[in-house]
Amino acid sequence: MSAESEEGADEFPSGRFERGRIAAQTGLKMGANYARYLARRSVGAGSRDEERKALRDRNARDLFSQLSRLRGTALKFAQGISIDPGVLPREFVDVLSQAQYQVPPMGTALVRRLIQQGLGKPPESLFEEFEPVAVAAASLGQVHRARLKDGRVVAVKIQYPNVRESVDSDLRIMKGLASRFVDAGAVQPFLDEVRARMFEETDYLQEGQNIEYFAAQYTSDRILTPRWIPEYSSERVLTMTFVEGRHLDEFLATDPSQEVLNQFGQTLWDFAHEQVAANNLAVHADAHPGNFLFRDDGRVGVLDFGCIKRFPVSFRNDLLLLFKARLADDQEALMRQYRSLLLVSDEQPDDLRAFMLDILEQVGNTIAEPYRHDTFDFGANLLLQGFEDLLPRLTGRDAYRHRSPVGSSEFIFLNRLVFGLLSILTRLGAVVHTADGRRRLLDVADAAVG
């Protein structure tokens, strides 16, 4: 570790002006990369495909570098879009996926100071052992392994400075960018939803309570969650029992058998469906690879309980009635649910409604595909390709003409759950028994109208 990082010279900007300046610098860097690309193309250097790939790779690395300086909402956004299929070119996905747990960490002096501020004492007074090098660093904070004086091995999550203070300034920047493409007023409910979840996610006492709730509900012979240690926690320092295991890339590098891949895939599939079908409506909505550990004992370790989405009953029921209508290909019921979920309305111009119905048909059929079979092979089926094929339509001329966002703001975190799960299952190449998940969802839909 460098002397600079040991001194903790890595404070993070929180003001709107500072963060806006860094965002502007990022745009300038990416513009310079594009100018370099055009210059090389003008003299015929390299193949077009190779040069375009190199451009995307440079832009992705510059973007990640600048977002790592910002942390917080900006980097959380990158983390989110890195798991949404079809949103970004592969080069961007590969680089931005580092935001899941490989962000450059804070220096040791800053870590020590933040623990002192959060818990009232420095780490050497609180813990029998405290490892100064982070075991993981993501968008909002980083994690250190430690040992309590009673011998328990724990994970200590420390929030980056200024993260909570920067939420509103980042959202103002995002709103300014979004207003170039959509009506600024119409996008506000979506930003309000992000703001609410970000303030929850930066309250580590709330996350501790979420940990205990999920531990009580889901710890089993297939799922392992940490346990909260409140006496070593505060709003910005969170201590919990340490969960061992491998992240997805590390796990796949061990060349696991298909049987093991299927077992883990089934566990993730069942875990997601149990949450959606439960009466409490609390869902772990941060389904990216950095939040799951694949363990030698066959259990999946689940991490990071900051982003827990509690859906309104009406939204969850409308969603599952839409699911039921999609499986039955009941067009009348589909239209009824599209209206309930604010996806289409009579006030929309005819061309926008036709555009939306076409998109919804494609997206709905793609999501429904695993449920049309009792067993589904995520390795053999090009499920995510269906979403990637939609990208030109979602970003092209037709999409730009229809500038108003549609759908309930509740979809933001539902999409993170759905696409995160599908992405992980596809990377596992798991063969999953889907019938029980289908039954759970249809039972809730039937009860909603019963």
For residue 213, CA distances in Å to 206, 280, 283 come to 11, 11, 11
For residue 360, CA distances in Å to 53, 339, 383, 387 come to 31, 12, 16, 11
| Diameter of the chain measured on Cα atoms | 69
Phi, psi of 156 (to 5 degrees): -110, 110
Amino acid at site 261: L
> CA quadruple 33, 34, 38, 39: dihedral positive or negative?
negative
Rounded-to-integer distance, Cα 119 and Cα 131, Å: 17
Q: What is the DSSP string of 11-77?
A: ----SHHHHHHHHHHHHHHHHHHHHHHHHHHHTT-S-HHHHHHHHHHHHHHHHHHHHHHH-HHHHHH
For residue 111, give the 3-state DSSP assignment: helix
For residue 343, CA distances in Å to 339, 346, 431 come to 6, 11, 32
Neighbours of 66 (CB within 10 A): 19
Rounded-to-integer distance, Cα 306 and Cα 288, Å: 13
Rounded-to-integer distance, Cα 283 and Cα 268, Å: 13
Q: How many residues does the chain have?
A: 450
3-state helix, strand, coil in the chain (%, to 5): 60, 10, 30
Rounded-to-integer distance, Cα 179 and Cα 186, Å: 9
Rounded-to-integer distance, Cα 225 and Cα 305, Å: 10
Q: Smallest Cα–Cα separation from 376: which of 317, 304, 427, 430? A: 430
> CA quadruple 227, 240, 204, 121: dihedral positive or negative?
positive
For residue 315, CA distances in Å to 286, 309, 322, 337, 363 come to 19, 12, 10, 10, 18
Tell me which DSSP letter residue 263 carries.
H
Q: Which one is catalytic: 203, 286, 304, 318?
A: 286
Is 286 among the residues known to form the active site? yes
Q: What is the DSSP string of 398-429?
A: HHHH--S--S-TTHHHHHHHHHHHHHHHHHHT
Q: What is the DSSP string of 186-245?
A: HHHHHHHHHHHHHHHHT-HHHHHHHHHHHHHHH-SSSEE---B-GGG--SSEEEEE----
The catalytic site residues sit at: 286
